[in-house]
Amino acid sequence: MNKRQQTRKDNQQRILQAAEEEFGLHGFKGTTIQNVADRAGLPKANVVYYFSNKVNLYTAVLGRITRSWNDVFNRATAEDDPAEVLDHFIRAKIEQSVLNPRASRIFAMEIIQGAPHHKDYLRQYLRNWVRDRATVIEQWIAEGRMHPVDPVQLIFMIWATTQHYADFETQVLTVMNRGEYEAQDIDHIGDCVSTIILRGCGLEPPARSGQADQAPARP
C-alpha cells in the first residue's frame, strides 16, 4: 500500500477512535474538535482536514458503531432452538454492554435526542431487521415451541435490559456499591436476565455450568 494511503487510513482511524471516546464521554454538543484532536495527538486543523466538520465526524463514529451490532441474532433461523438462540443473544449483548459501554452510550444519546443524525438507520435498516427477526420468533410460536408473545416487544425488552448495563452503568454500579464490573458479573447478570426472559417466554433456560439464580454477586 501507498505510504499516503497508509497514513491517511492510520490518521482517520486514530481520529475516529479518539472521537468515539470523546463523544461517549461528553455527547455531541459537549465534545469539541479540539478535545478530539488532543486525544488523537493531532492539530485541530488536521482533524477538520480529514472529516470536514463535526457532524460528519460524528456520523462516521455512529456508523462505525451500529454497523457492528446485533450480529449474534442475525444468523438464527426458525430451525434453531429458541432457548439457545435467545440465551446466546442476551448474553452476547450483556457482554458487549459490560466490555464496551461507550458505543452503547453514544447510540443511546443519539436516540434519546430523537436520532437527529441517524434516522435513516432506524427507518431503513433497523425496522427491517426487527421485522425479519420477528418472523423467526413468530414461527417458533406457531410451532408451539414457546409461549405467544409479541415478538417486537420481546426484542425491545432484550435491547432495553441488556443495554441498561452500559447506558446506566453509573446508576447500576452506584446502587450495587461497586467500582466497576468484573468478569463474573457478566455471567451473573446474564444468568438473571436470561432466566427471567426465557422463563417469561415459556422456555427452559439451557443448562449452564454454575447456577446463579438467586445469589447476587458479592466479591
Partner DNA sequence: GGCCAATATAACCGCATGGTCAGACTTTGC
Partner DNA sequence: GCAAAGTCTGACCATGCGGTTATATTGGCC
Residues in Cβ contact with 60 at an 8 Å cutoff, skipping those fewer than 6 apart: 16, 19, 51
27 binds, among DNA, its own copies, none (CB under 5 to 8 A by kind): its own copies
Q: Are 205 and 158 in contact (CB under 8 A)?
A: no
By CB under 7 A, tell whether 42 contacts DNA: yes
Residue 4 contacts which entry, its own copies, DNA, none (Cβ below 5-8 A, type-dependent): DNA
E strands, 62-172, are none
How far apart are the C-alpha atoms of 141 and 176, rounded to whole Å?
Answer: 37
The option from DNA, its own copies, none interacting with 123 (CB < 5 to 8 A, set by class) reads its own copies
**Interacting partner of 55 out of DNA, its own copies, none (Cβ under 5 to 8 A depending on kind):** DNA
Q: How many residues bind DNA (CB under 7 A)?
A: 24
Q: CB–CB of 37/72 below 8 Å? A: no
Instruction: Considering only the stretches 46-54, 57-65, 72-80, 186-194, report the one whose residues sit in contact with its own copies under the rule CB under 8 A.
Output: 186-194
Q: How far is CA 161 from CA 16, 90, 181, 189, in A?
A: 28, 9, 16, 10
Compute CA distances 209 → 47, 92, 93, 101, 184, whole Å: 49, 17, 20, 26, 13
Among 25, 39, 52, 98, binds DNA (CB under 7 A): 52
Residues 9-28 that bind its own copies (CB under 8 A): 25-28
Binding to its own copies by residue 90, rule CB under 8 A?
no
**What is the C-alpha separation between 209 and 192, in angstroms, rounded?**
14
Q: Does 154 bind its own copies (CB under 8 A)?
A: yes
118 neighbors 62 (Cβ within 8 angstroms): yes
Residue 195 CB, nearest distance to its own copies (Å)? 7
Q: Which stretch binds DNA (CB under 7 A): 50-58, 82-90, 181-189, 201-209?
A: 50-58
Region of 35-43, 56-64, 84-92, 155-163 interacting with its own copies (CB under 8 A): 155-163
- What distance in Å separates the CA atoms of residue 167 and residue 107, rounded to the nearest whole number? 9
Q: Using CB distances below 5 to 8 A depending on partner kind, what does residue 141 bind out of its own copies, DNA, none? A: its own copies
Kindly tell me which of 53 and 113 has the beta carbon lying closer to its own copies.
Answer: 113
Residue 125 interacts, among its own copies, DNA, none and using kind-specific CB cut-offs from 5 to 8 Å, with: none
Confirm if 140 and 73 have CB atoms less than 8 A apart. Answer: no
